[in-house]
Amino acid sequence: MSVQDHRAFRPAPGARPVSSAVSPWLRWLSEAVWFVEHAFERARADAKPEEDTRVRIVVIQAVFIGIFVLLAAGATRAALLGPGGGIGSATVAGALQRADLTDRNGALLATNIVHYGLYIDPTEVWDREAAFTQIRRALPQVSSTRLRRVLDGERRLIVQPGLTPAERQAVHALALGGLSFEPEDRRVYPLGTSAAHLLGTADTGGQGVSGVELAFNDAIRAAGAQGQDFALSLDLRIQGVLENELAAAADEAGAKGAVGVVADATTGEILGMASWPTYDPNDRGSAPEGAALNRVTSAHYEMGSVFKTFTVAAALDTGRADLDTMIDASEAYYIGNRRISDFHATNKILSLEDVFIHSSNIGTSRLAVEMGADTMRDYFQRLGLLDAAPIELKESARPRRPRQWDDSTRASLSFGYGIMITPLQMTAATVALVNGGVYRPLTLRRGGTAAEGRRIVTAETSAAIRQLMRANVVRGSGRSANAEGLRVGGKTGSANKLVDGRYDARHGVGSFASVFPADGPDDARRYVVFVLVDEPSQGSRLGGTVAAPVVGRVIDRIAGFLGVQRRIDPPAPPEPAA
Amino acid sequence: MTRNAVQRLFEWKVRGIRWIEIIGVLLVAVMILSVYVAKAAAARESATINQLERQIAETRQRVRLLRAEAARLEQPARLEVLSRGAGLAPVEMDQQADGVALSTLRPAPEPVLAPVEVAPVVVETPADAAPVGEGLR
């Protein structure tokens, strides 16, 4: 046992230069270690050995207790709060990148399905020739050059993305070495061409590109994270009827295009929206030219006489006319050198109702000229004819507006020329005119937007318009739209298109804007159906012939879905409401 | 006194080994064993849970697939073609009635006279046929 006084301890002379040479910190550390190491000897030298031992024991105990308390706390925390430890996991079960889209009744419109990318590692393929022929047989759509290149390469590469589970199974069953599959989430539209334009598409990154997918991108992603469906206002049954009838009519008429919209006049909800021709969003690349265009939101048309509803509504609402006002349509109406005549010439003095029913250009032109530019522009503005139709869809296009509002232009506007609007604008304006006079944005959200809406015409004007529309179907140009017992009201529209600077009768647009049921109180539940057939090439081009029958058939078939009761029409025209 | 009791506890030995240490070691052994058992059970449970979750995910995926497949088969255009092909058509107005109207509709089928026509025939036939039959006999 050493009796050396350790308070005067000095490390061996040889060690000192090493630590001091390396770093002053290292020297300090070694001195501290030596200090602790020799504390026992120091204490004994101070003649307090018991105290020293106890201090050591207490210190070591404290250190161990501290460590174990920390460990215990850590273990408790990991057990109770760690990921996957608790029952309520952080991620929602069934969370998706994008929610499934459904119609208002829960029928599936768009969903995400896991597809598989086929990868081949050529170094693990035994017989490349056999693999080539077998894969080609199982997957005829695989590009043979691509497959050959991957098989002859040296690295694992993708051969074909987007295999369906069935295709994957077919390849898997070949039991070839070196083949593997990587799951990838894909947006699928199981309805194919149905509602294709409306739904739009989403890219492989899960972002909406067009249609509803784009318009509600954030909401769809949020619903997907919650594992919920995203419901639209659409009713698939109505959509199906509309599409089928529209396609049949467009086909029969040899049309260039056709559109149809069904909207709830009370809430502004879109129940059906069809654009023809259509395409398969699952195979967008093969869509024919122009088929991917949503003609409801993005195509402009000079719509013709359906605008007479607006002119007459403006005249009624300003008090310039009532249903019995007589208007002279006995001879052509001249504005400067321009001669305005009637297509269905009556050559007599007509009441306002007859002007509407006989679709008199002279009558509405007189009204338009009399009401003046400001009034007419004000009403067109109120009806939303001068701005893009308010709806969630980003595709909703702005109209082509008239540059001036002189007498001649107003006369043209009064019967639907000189302004090109989208079918959606026409639907929104018709909705506002028949629902008691409140303009609401159209919506694709189930339940509507709950927007207050703004009053554009009085309830009396709205009732009068409904009465006029009903009369037009009972004994006017819209007879073929009559669906038995459903009190259909509507206005036909027929317009020629501007071809090479001239209005060409061979290129026409026939349309029909309708409401059903047209009777009942202002707040009754009613629906607006608008159909437009673009450039029918066979048979008549008039709206009453190409579009009105479609509306009649559609209404006849969808009334049951909407719960509209049939009532046998009174043989006589309905009593004036006002 | 207390101090003595504690001291006695520590001095309570068997073959030179303190009982307190033996008890301590036994307790630790029991604890280790129980922790092991609990951990093993938990691992088994969590494996089961994982398996179930995998099954749920697979089933959910299958449900999605089937739902998509059902939607594909119910394409309105496809259904229309099929039903037209089967000779089906939308129901006409005069073929429709609600529950309230049923009682008023009942007289309407009478002009068809199906039961009425059949009845006289049945009645008349034996009358006409009987002599023929008798004649044959």
Report the C-alpha gap between A238 and A555 in whole angstroms: 9
HEC readout, A394-461? CCCCCCECCCCCCHHHHHHHHCCCCCEECHHHHHHHHHHHHCCCEECCCECECCCCCCCCEECCCHHH
* pLDDT of the residue at A100: 92
Report the C-alpha gap between A483 and B8 in whole angstroms: 107
Report the C-alpha gap between A333 and A331 in whole angstroms: 6
Kind of pairing, strands B13-14 and A179-188?
unpaired
pLDDT-derived band at A303 (thresholds 50, 70, 90) equals: very high
- Other CB atoms closer than 10 Å to residue A201's CB: what's the count? 19
Report the C-alpha gap between A513 and A529 in whole angstroms: 6
Q: Is A305 a catalytic residue?
A: yes
Whether A112 sits inside 8 A of B71 (CB atoms) is no
Whether A107 sits inside 8 A of B56 (CB atoms) is no
Whether B77 sits inside 8 A of A194 (CB atoms) is yes
Whether B76 sits inside 8 A of A194 (CB atoms) is yes
Are A364 and A355 in contact by the 8 Å Cβ rule? The answer is yes
Q: Which of A29-33, A262-266, B110-114 is predicted least confidently?
A: B110-114
Report the C-alpha gap between B94 and B111 in whole angstroms: 15
**In chain B, where are the structural domains located?**
1-90, 100-137
Structure-token match 């590109």, residue found? A209
Average confidence (pLDDT) over A123-128? 88
Q: What ipTM was reported for this prediction?
A: 0.72
DSSP A209: -
Summary mean pLDDT of chain A: 87
Among B25, B27, B57, B133, residue whose Cα is nearest residue A114: B57
Q: Two tokens at B87? A: 């000779």
Which of A21-35, A137-151, A229-243 is most confident? A229-243
**Optimal mutation site among A68, A115, A244, A275, interface B, most CBs of chain B within 10 A:** A244
Kindly list the residues from chain A whose CB atom is less than 8 angstroms away from the CB atom of residue B58. Answer: none
Among A84, A77, A94, residue whose Cα is nearest residue B46: A84
Structure-token match 């009396």, residue found? A460
Backbone φ and ψ of A387, nearest 5°: -135, 165
A290 Cβ neighbours under 8 A, 6+ residues apart: A257, A277
User: Does residue B124 surpass a pLDDT of 70?
Assistant: no
Q: What is the pLDDT of residues B38-53, one digit of tens each?
A: 999 999 999 999 999 9
Q: Which of A86-95, A137-146, A162-171, B44-53 is predicted least confidently?
A: A86-95
Report the C-alpha gap between B71 and A462 in whole angstroms: 40
Instruction: Count interface pairs A-B at CB distance under 8 A.
Output: 61
**Dihedral, CA of residue A453, residue A459, residue A462 and residue A466, to nearest 10:** 120
A574 Cβ neighbours under 8 A, 6+ residues apart: A467, A470, A471, A474, A519
Report the C-alpha gap between A108 and A65 in whole angstroms: 62
Kindly list the residues from chain B whose CB atom is less than 8 angstroms away from the CB atom of residue A114. Answer: 61
Whether A108 sits inside 8 A of B65 (CB atoms) is no
H/E run at residue A102: strand A101-102
Q: Two tokens at A511? A: 């349309």
Backbone φ and ψ of A187, nearest 5°: -80, 130
Distances (CA, A) of A27 to A8, A16, A32: 17, 8, 9
Q: Least CA distance to B79: which residue of chain A?
A: A240
Q: What is the pLDDT of residues A334-371, one digit of tens each?
A: 998 889 988 877 788 899 999 999 999 999 999 999 99
**In chain A, where are the structural domains located?**
6-66, 101-231, 240-562
Whether B76 sits inside 8 A of A243 (CB atoms) is yes
User: Does residue B120 surpass a pLDDT of 50?
Assistant: no
First to last CA, chain B: 136
Are A246 and A260 in contact by the 8 Å Cβ rule? The answer is yes
Q: What is the pTM of this model?
A: 0.77
A151 Cβ neighbours under 8 A, 6+ residues apart: A120, A122, A125, A128, A131, A132
Say how many CA atoms lie within 13 Å of A73 toward its Cβ. 6
Catalytic residue among A275, A305, A462, A494: A305
HEC readout, A259-287? EEEEEECCCCEEEEEEEECCCCHHHHHHC
Whether A191 sits inside 8 A of B80 (CB atoms) is no
Which of A328-332, A538-542, B21-25 is most confident? B21-25
* pLDDT of the residue at A85: 46
Asked whether the CA dihedral B33, B39, B42, B48 is positive or negative, the reply is negative
Q: Cα distance from B51 to chain A (closest Cα, Å)?
A: 14
* pLDDT of the residue at A270: 95
Report the C-alpha gap between B104 and B100 in whole angstroms: 8
User: Does residue A574 surpass a pLDDT of 90?
Assistant: no
Report the C-alpha gap between B109 and A513 in whole angstroms: 38
- Sort A574 into a burial class: Cβ within 10 Å, 0-12 / 13-18 / 19+: middle
Report the C-alpha gap between B131 and A246 in whole angstroms: 65
Report the C-alpha gap between A315 and A202 in whole angstroms: 46
- For chain A, what's the residue count? 578
Report the C-alpha gap between A254 and A260 in whole angstroms: 16
Report the C-alpha gap between A224 and B13 in whole angstroms: 69
- Other CB atoms closer than 10 Å to residue A521's CB: what's the count? 9
* pLDDT of the residue at A88: 44
HEC readout, A487-547? CCEEEEEEEEEEECCEEEEEEEEEEEEEEECCCCCCCCCCEEEEEEEECCCCCCCCHHHHC
- For chain B, what's the residue count? 137
Q: What is the pLDDT of residues A413-462, one digit of tens each?
A: 999 999 999 999 999 999 999 999 999 999 999 988 877 889 999 999 99
Q: What is the pLDDT of residues A65-97, one digit of tens each?
A: 999 999 999 999 988 886 654 444 445 666 788
A250 Cβ neighbours under 8 A, 6+ residues apart: A257, A258, A276, A277, A533
Among A277, A121, A100, A128, residue whose Cα is nearest residue A190: A100
Structure-token match 């074909």, residue found? A160
Report the C-alpha gap between A98 and A104 in whole angstroms: 18
* pLDDT of the residue at A83: 63
Distances (CA, A) of A301 to A102, A242, A468, B115: 31, 20, 24, 59
Q: Least CA distance to A278: which residue of chain B?
A: B77
* pLDDT of the residue at A81: 80
Among A300, A577, A286, residue whose Cα is nearest residue A416: A300
Per CATH, the architecture of A240-562 is what? Answer: 3-Layer(aba) Sandwich (3.40)
A178 Cβ neighbours under 8 A, 6+ residues apart: A120, A121, A122, A123, A124, A125, A131
3-state helix, strand, coil in chain A (%, to 5): 40, 20, 40
Kindly list the residues from chain A whose CB atom is less than 8 angstroms away from the CB atom of residue B71. Answer: 107-109, 111, 190-191
Kindly list the residues from chain B whose CB atom is less than 8 angstroms away from the CB atom of residue A191. Answer: 71-72, 74-76
Report the C-alpha gap between A495 and A475 in whole angstroms: 21
User: Does residue B75 surpass a pLDDT of 70?
Assistant: yes
For domain A101-231, give the CATH superfamily: Penicillin-binding protein 2a (Domain 2) (3.90.1310.10)
Q: Which of A79-93, A471-485, B83-97 is predicted least confidently?
A: A79-93
Among A141, A172, A133, residue whose Cα is nearest residue A159: A141
